[in-house]
Structure 1
Amino acid sequence: MNNLIILENAKMLKTNLKAVDFFCSGGGMSSGMQNSGIKILAGIDYDNTCKETYEANIKGAKFIHADVFEYKEETLEKELNLQKNDDNLVLIGCSPCQFWSIINTDKEKSSKSKSLLVEFRRFVEYFNPGYVVVENVPGVLRRKDESGLEDFIVWLNNQGYKVHCKIHNVSEYGVPQSRKRLTLIANRITDSELEPVKFEGKKLTVYDVIGEHNGFPKVPAGHKDETGFMHTVAGLKQINIDRLKLTEKNGGSRMSYANNEDLAPKCHKNDTTNFKDTYGRIWWDRQSPTITTKFFSISNGRFAHPEEDRAISLREGAVLQSFPKDYIFKTTSVANTARMIGNAVPPKYAASIGKAIIQNHTK
């Protein structure tokens, strides 16, 4: 068994696979791909506030600050010395997904994001890489005509790519979180349809990654961690602390005080059927709910700690997204950090995609 592992690692080291990560944000996808054995050449993003975080973690990669609507294929070609028809090249496009998300967002404000897949396709057509990866919310598949996904898949097929395009739950891939994601992997190197490589062993739960036994000391609401560990927790009004004190440990919900005249939120008073997750606690023995950009707030979902009277911390949210504990976040506020973490592709899921590509490439 050990010999097999050594042989597989040796194969990974010998690959010449390299990737460019469009819409890279803080580097979740790049981190996972890099850990799987694929060299990351660059990450591209319009949000320049991601630059420090990306460069601090994705060693050797270049951060390109660019608006993909204006950025030209020839510019990227020269900037990274890329070649067309390169079998070793992987182009990754994990565009912001607010427009296609089922979560209540400002659709007018995020309308520009619905065309990002079309813009990414320009680069795929120009470079004709060995592999293409797209990761996004399931809504892109449900509305594949409008999103441009269907036309893109037809084009990929016509170009000789073998295309895998399905919805996967990242909990099957070593991520301690329930999060459904659309994943497209296009491969023109072999005739194989590539799927992310599933995690061997039991699914990880919240208990497997956070808590005092995992190096997360008990802290109160409003705790500020000035170290790089960032075990920082958003503050709470006293009424919310009182609500959590009444909320059953390990998965309790606002039902504990739904009929309490003093504590029940006005919009939920005597309502025991709707929005049950709001103000709820995460379960120890389950995967966490989807970590959104608002995971630091108990009023935005089931984001209260399983037993402490607070929301989960920034580092706890990051670990539930499968970021390493030593991942560096160079951000300026709780909200900005949470947005970067919540928008990220879970690195362990990204690694499972990278492993599938590597295994195919080293056959």
Structure 2
Amino acid sequence: MFTTIDLFSGAGGVSQALKKHFKIICAVEYDKIIASTYALNHGSDHLLIKDIKKIKKKYWNNLKKKKLDKQELDLLVATPPCQGFSRHSRKKSDINSDERNKLIFQVIKISNIFEPKLVLLENVDNIINFKVFKSFLKLLSNIDMNGNKLYKNKPSYHIRYEVVDAVDFGVPQHRKRLILIAKKIDSFPNVDAFISINQKGKLQSVKPHEIWPNKTIALTLGDYLKQYNLAPLRAGEQDPEDKLHRCRNLSELNLIRIRNTPKNGGSRSDWPENQNLELDCHKKSNINFGDVYGRMDFREYAPTITCGCLAYTKGRFGHPEEDRAISIREAALIQTFPKDYKFTGKISGISCEGSSENIATQIGNAVPVILAENFITRIHEELTSTSNRSINNFVYG
């Protein structure tokens, strides 16, 4: 089985996708409660609960010696915090100095130690507008304009990155993300891998490698959720058979609002004017949060599941047909976690207990499992093909 490390592992959505094809030798998560969710689903033997900045090089070298025994790491996966790169950040990308943005360079540090055959990185689409991302690309590629190494003692990578919509890879949700796959270069020169930046600081395109999955058609939200046969709920209720199938209560005014919102895609623009349901702040001409107080649509795809996905007031998170916001279970399913996936909001790690908002944050920050599966399956195919070629060359060469 191929080997992998999962950095910034969160609640374990990527690890869920990895387990079929890879042995996870280490997963790193800083938050103790989130790490408890990870451990519930994937165990704790390989889990390191620590600030990644404080993990010394000695630890990584010992792990490499103990777990790999002179073999190369096959895949390094990283999903660093995205909040600092978000379009909702108040600072422009060229002046944003959010300390979390620098965590992306931990990927470089660990790549230089393990020299993995492949690197997979996921983040918000807006990361491509940040100077720190351009610096990251140059350091990870480690290639000069002639296709040779810039730093002789560090690995070089041929990088391909694209902004994708999760709905194009089997996820019933519109969710734009930056996906990057880097392939280790073993033969030089490789001019195709050189990454240039023009005088305006804009990234120039490079010739992409071929390690990329084909697009797949996603089921609509209704067809996707229908297979799980979830019980109907009222606002504030919990399914006694599924403790995660619970939703937030609504005030009397918000109950009136959602009852006046047409099913399957209705929004606050549909509210009758004579009932004075609209907030004063939304009446201003420059306000553009049209999805707030809206319903999802079973006939379409869900909007991006965020950390505020349980709140009817924070986006189009109203249930398509029932007069309530979506439940925790529905949010997790839209993120394509398995129905039996466990979540906890407590350090104690008791499944289904603790803060609903804490669990929603874990779900909203996760990589959709099926999105990760598409890319990881393609990476596994590449590693298998490369391994078979190496064996044939050894036997017959």
CA distance in 1, matches of 2:264, 2:223: 14
Does residue 349 (structure 1) correspond to residue 371 (structure 2)? The answer is: yes
Match of 1:125 in 2: 112
By how many angstroms is 1:196 displaced? 4.0
CA contact (8 A) 2:78 2:122 kept: yes
Q: Deviations over 1:139-183 (max 9, x none)?
A: 211214466333234327843422211111111111111111111
Counterpart mapping for 1:160-199 below 5 A: 160-188=156-184, 193-199=209-215
> Which runs of no fewer than 5 residues in structure 1 stay unpaired?
1-15
Q: Deviations over 1:162-219 (max 9, x none)?
A: 221111111111111111111111122789825442354x3221112225x6311110
The counterpart of 1:55, out of the listed 36, 39, 46, is 39
Counterpart mapping for 1:204-219 below 5 A: 204-211=219-226, 214-219=228-233
Using a 3 Å threshold, how does the CA distance of structure 1 residues 350 and 229 change in structure 2: closer, same or farther?
farther
Q: Which amino acid aligns with 1:180?
A: K
Using a 3 Å threshold, how does the CA distance of structure 1 residues 325 and 204 change in structure 2: closer, same or farther?
same
Match of 1:72 in 2: 56
CA contact (8 A) 1:244 1:310 kept: yes
CA distance in 1, matches of 2:49, 2:273: 51
RMSD of aligned residue pairs (Cα, Å): 2.7
CA distance in 2, matches of 1:237, 1:67: 40
Using a 3 Å threshold, how does the CA distance of structure 1 residues 59 and 110 change in structure 2: closer, same or farther?
farther
CA contact (8 A) 1:32 1:351 kept: yes
Does residue 326 (structure 1) correspond to residue 334 (structure 2)? The answer is: no
Match of 2:3 in 1: 18
Identity %: 31
SS at match of 1:230: strand
CA distance in 1, matches of 2:90, 2:33: 21
Counterpart mapping for 1:251-290 below 5 A: 251-257=265-271, 259-260=273-274, 262-269=276-283, 274-290=288-304
By how many angstroms is 1:96 displaced? 0.8
Using a 3 Å threshold, how does the CA distance of structure 1 residues 184 and 106 change in structure 2: closer, same or farther?
same
Using a 3 Å threshold, how does the CA distance of structure 1 residues 229 and 85 change in structure 2: closer, same or farther?
farther
SS at match of 1:69: helix
Moved more, 306-315 or 265-274: 265-274
By how many angstroms is 1:73 displaced? 2.6
TM-score by length of 1: 0.87
Match of 2:138 in 1: 151
> Which runs of no fewer than 5 residues in structure 2 stay unpaired?
150-154, 188-207, 346-353, 386-397
CA contact (8 A) 2:5 2:26 kept: yes
TM-score by length of 2: 0.79
CA contact (8 A) 2:335 2:368 kept: yes
CA distance in 2, matches of 1:54, 1:155: 33
Q: Which amino acid aligns with 1:113?
A: R
Match of 2:380 in 1: 358
Using a 3 Å threshold, how does the CA distance of structure 1 residues 275 and 258 change in structure 2: closer, same or farther?
farther
Using a 3 Å threshold, how does the CA distance of structure 1 residues 161 and 298 change in structure 2: closer, same or farther?
same
Using a 3 Å threshold, how does the CA distance of structure 1 residues 179 and 329 change in structure 2: closer, same or farther?
same
SS at match of 1:121: helix
SS at match of 1:209: helix
CA contact (8 A) 1:18 1:41 kept: yes
Match of 1:9 in 2: none
SS at match of 1:186: strand
Does residue 31 (structure 1) correspond to residue 16 (structure 2)? The answer is: yes
Which structure has the bigger radius of gyration?
2
CA distance in 1, matches of 2:17, 2:55: 25
Aligned length: 345
Moved more, 220-229 or 21-30: 220-229
CA distance in 1, matches of 2:210, 2:343: 32
